[in-house]
């Protein structure tokens, strides 16, 4: 049965001329899926256009939605800690998310994070593809399973494959690792420290891959 126009996913308004400023500006008006209407603003990726490493999270969180920048809340502070321990300067990396809007439901006065569904991820992917095309990173780091699946497919498992240099047509290497928010959700300080150690070890592989060139 043909779908009615109201059921179609609009497509992301990717500009013909692909430069970082043009992409960022066009993404600000994106309504390719319904979650844009709930968000304060589009949280586009940021970092130097010559970055050798692209870090990809799941989606903007509550803080990021308000500030308009990726990984600036608690998860961002955890990521900063791990990057510093691995000897990677965040200022040299390009940081972004698979989904550029914050998806949430209200619980009292709080806005609770909701996982993006496959349709929302599919609608937003053209932005990530365009960012990769413009930045041309040597290593793409998928933080958590949403980014790992979006970039590398369902066969990749963060628990099994983290820290390995994986093949991808999108860059010289892809690395999957834990999402910093998953570390924050661990039940005890001891678990958090162990998981942080894993994240740092995976990022050390990224640093080593960059040196090995």
Among the residue ranges 66-74, 121-129, 150-158, 182-190, the one whose residues contact ligand URA (CB under 6 A): 66-74
- Smallest distance, Å, CB 22 to ligand URA? 22
Q: Which residues pair with 106 in a beta bridge?
A: 111
Report 83-112 residues binding ligand URA (CB under 6 A).
Answer: 97
User: Between 40 and 172, whose beta carbon lies closer to ligand URA?
Assistant: 40
Q: State the nearest-atom distance from the C-beta of 57 to ligand URA, in Å.
A: 3
Q: SS3 for the chain, per residue? A: CCCCHHHCCCCCCCCCCCCHHHHHHHHCCCCCCHHHHCCCCCCCCECCCCCCEEEEEEECCHHHHHHCCCCCCHHHHHHHHHHHHCCCCHHHCEEEEEECCCCEEEECCEEEECCCCHHHHHHHHHHHHHHHHHHCCCEEEEECHHHHHHHHCCCCCHHHHCCCCECCCCCCEEEEECCHHHHHCCCCHHHHHHHHHHHHHHHHHHHHHHHCC
Q: How many residues bind ligand URA (CB under 6 A)?
A: 12
* Binding flag, residue 59, ligand URA (CB under 6 A): yes
CB atoms closer than 10 angstroms to residue 112: 11
Residues 141-200 that bind ligand URA (CB under 6 A): 181
Task: CB nearer to ligand URA: give 11 or 117.
Answer: 117
Closest separation in Å from C-beta 77 to ligand URA: 10
Which position among 45, 47, 70, 163 is part of the footprint of ligand URA (CB under 6 A)? 70
User: Please, what is the minimum distance in Å from the beta carbon of residue 74 to ligand URA?
Assistant: 8
Closest distance between ligand URA and the C-beta of residue 2, in Å? 36
Residues that bind ligand URA (CB under 6 A): 57-61, 64, 70-71, 73, 75, 97, 181
């Amino acid at each position: 049965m043909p779908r009615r126009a109201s059921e179609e996913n609009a497509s992301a308004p990717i500009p013909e001329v692909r430069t970082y400023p043009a992409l960022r500006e066009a993404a600000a008006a994106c309504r390719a899926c319904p979650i844009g209407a709930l968000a304060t603003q589009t949280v586009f990726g940021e970092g130097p256009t010559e970055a050798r490493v692209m870090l990809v999270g799941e989606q903007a969180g509550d803080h990021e939605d308000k500030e308009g920048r990726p990984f600036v809340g608690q998860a961002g502070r955890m990521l900063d800690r791990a990057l510093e321990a691995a000897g990677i300067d965040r200022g040299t990396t390009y940081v972004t998310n698979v989904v550029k809007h914050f998806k949430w439901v209200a619980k009292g006065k709080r806005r609770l994070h909701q996982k993006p569904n496959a349709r929302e991820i599919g609608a937003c992917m053209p932005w990530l593809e365009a960012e990769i095309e413009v930045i041309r990173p040597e290593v793409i780091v998928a933080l958590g399973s949403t980014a790992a699946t979006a970039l590398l497919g369902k066969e990749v498992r963060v628990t099994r494959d983290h820290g390995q240099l994986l093949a991808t047509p999108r860059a010289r290497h892809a690395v999957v690792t834990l999402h910093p928010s998953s570390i924050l959700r661990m039940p005890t300080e001891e678990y958090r420290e162990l998981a942080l150690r894993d994240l740092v070890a995976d990022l050390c592989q990224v640093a080593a891959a960059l040196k090995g060139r």
